Amino acid sequence: MELSDELYDRIEELSETGNEAMESEDYAKAISCFQEALDILPEPKEDWEAYLWLVGSIGDAHFMMGNYGKSLEFFRKCYNIGETDNPFILLRLGENYLEMEDETNATEFLLHAYMLEGEKIFKEDWKYFQWLSGHVNLKQK
């Protein structure tokens, strides 16, 4: 099952505009672009490869805006469709949970991201690694 060329091109165009908006920190515009692309995906939306990166991109934009509850909602969708070993999704889940003061879930997801990628997964913001290392013994053998 493939998208028509016209639909693929439109989704690609919206995604590029959304990515440019992310780079210029216009997160509301990015969300609008990614959501429009998501809206034109045929049903069942979850079956399309584009679904994962559009939903993740919307979640990421919400995270960057400090809308942690909304971000968590979108990253849970990614996780629930089977992306249980995607380090970025695990990281954002953990970060959102920590920002919402759910330390149990924060520990679970941040640790899982760390186990898959090591310290480098935290390069965007070391405060999450510092928090995790203060709550879990991360010593290497």
Say whether both 88 and 63 belong to one domain: no
- How many structural domains comprise the chain? 2
Say whether both 65 and 125 belong to one domain: no
Say whether both 45 and 14 belong to one domain: yes
Radius of gyration in angstroms for the set of CA atoms belonging to the chain, rounded to a whole number = 16
**pTM for this predicted structure:** 0.94
Domain of residue 16 covers 1-74
Q: Residue 81, CB half-sphere, CA atoms under 13 Å: how many?
A: 18
Say whether both 39 and 103 belong to one domain: no
**130 inside domain:** yes
Give residue 11's pLDDT. Answer: 98
pLDDT tens-digit map of 93-137: 999 999 999 999 999 999 999 999 999 999 999 999 999 999 999
Give residue 139's pLDDT. Answer: 72
Q: What CA–CA distance (Å, rounded) separates 40 from 35?
A: 9
Domain boundary among 74, 101, 130: 74
Q: How many helices (H) and strands (E) does the chain have?
A: 7, 0
